[in-house]
Amino acid sequence: MLDDDDDDDDDDDDDLQIRAFLEKHDSTSNEFQGSNLSDPNLSWLPQVLKEFILPAGFPGSVSDDYLQYMLLQFPTNVTGWICHTLVTSSLLKAVGVGSFSGTAAAASAAAIRWVSKDGIGAVGRLFIGGRFGNLFDDDPKQWRMYADFIGSAGSIFDLTTQVYPAYFLPLASLGNLAKAVARGLKDPSFRVIQNHFAISGNLGEVSAKEEVWEVTAQLLGLSLGILILDTPGLVRSYPVLVSTWASMRLLHLWLRYLSLSALQFNTINLKRARMLVQSHILQSRVPGCIDCNRDENILLWQRFIKPRIIFGVPMEEMLGSGRSTSMNS
């Protein structure tokens, strides 16, 4: 802040100091971004491949945690598509693929059952989008993790259809409902994460490059899933199929947790605000962005007021009733 009483020479000196500070700050931040996982770790990658999978201007055009998140996200998506392949095999067996004689009636019945479970599952996305749309901006890491937990529960319903094919429609509908709810939590949360990456206003390009990573992981995961299904004895042994799926799913959840833990949000939500206040009161210090994100618990749901205070009526209603009483008197 400059005083109006300063002469021109003082103003010039202050301007030079401010300009020097800004230039020093910019050079420091650019030096930090340029050294962050750019040349040392990606020097082996061909330039053509870099341009194909990374946003233009990387690493300066995205946030510092972008590459670490994407490298952890890739095996997470691979394991997810392997699980999807294993679950699909159970669904197909439950609707009769491989057991019917190939008549038109059998094919029609299987198609009706398949489409019905998709329609019932779509209700979940309507409910999530309309009811909980305001929750994702505050804590996208937690809701993205919850989405995977709910999606895992939906896959369990899908796996049980092979054991109880007569109850295919209710089981598959519950599974698709759970996965639709998971998708309703996943998509908005990931949009917030993508917006966090796009520090240069390049959200469209960040989304497009994420699609490259996702499709590559999908192709690899589907290929590995097909290889697993071709393993002798796996397709016919239901316990082996379930144990293989459970192992891959646990690995998927662990990788998801690691990828979300790598995110470094520089905004303050309720959890990080509580950590800042608690650290300031107990230790007389304010932790930085990296410390807050590292110590943030993305699994547990926290209650921030103990004991919880419940007001009888809103303040507006109290004031409104007071006005009406005074007017009547």
Q: In the chain, what is the greatest distance between 2 CA atoms, to the nearest angstrom?
A: 96
Tell me the Ramachandran region of residue 171: left when phi exceeds 0, alpha when psi lies from -120 to 50, beta otherwise: alpha
Residue boundaries of the structural domains of the chain: 59-266, 268-301
What pLDDT score was predicted for residue 125? Answer: 66
What pLDDT score was predicted for residue 33? Answer: 40
Q: Coil, helix or strand for 228?
A: helix
Residue 264: closest CA among 288, 234, 280: 288
What pLDDT score was predicted for residue 116? Answer: 60
How far is 264 from 272, CA to CA, in rounded Å? 12
Q: Are 65 and 264 in contact (CB under 8 A)?
A: yes
What pLDDT score was predicted for residue 199? Answer: 87
**One pLDDT digit (tens) per residue for the chain, 329 residues:** 444 455 555 555 544 444 444 444 444 444 434 434 344 567 777 888 877 788 777 878 788 888 888 888 888 888 887 887 777 666 666 666 555 445 545 545 555 565 566 566 666 666 666 666 667 778 889 999 999 999 999 999 988 888 888 887 788 888 888 888 888 888 888 889 989 898 888 888 888 988 889 889 988 988 888 888 777 766 678 888 888 889 999 999 999 999 999 999 988 888 888 888 888 888 888 888 888 888 888 888 766 555 565 656 766 776 775 554 544 55
Residue 132: closest CA among 143, 141, 123: 143
C-alpha dist (Å) from residue 46 to 39, 49, 54, 55, 261: 12, 5, 12, 15, 29
What pLDDT score was predicted for residue 21? Answer: 41
C-alpha dist (Å) from residue 106 to 9, 18, 90, 96: 91, 78, 17, 8
Residue 186: closest CA among 256, 249, 117, 265: 256
Q: Where are the alpha helices (DSSP H) in 262-314?
A: 270-283, 289-295
State the amino acid at position 173 in one-letter form: S
Q: Which architecture does CATH list for 59-266?
A: Up-down Bundle (1.20)
What pLDDT score was predicted for residue 150? Answer: 92
What pLDDT score was predicted for residue 34? Answer: 40
How far is 256 from 74, CA to CA, in rounded Å? 10
DSSP summary character for residue 266: -
How far is 49 from 44, CA to CA, in rounded Å? 11
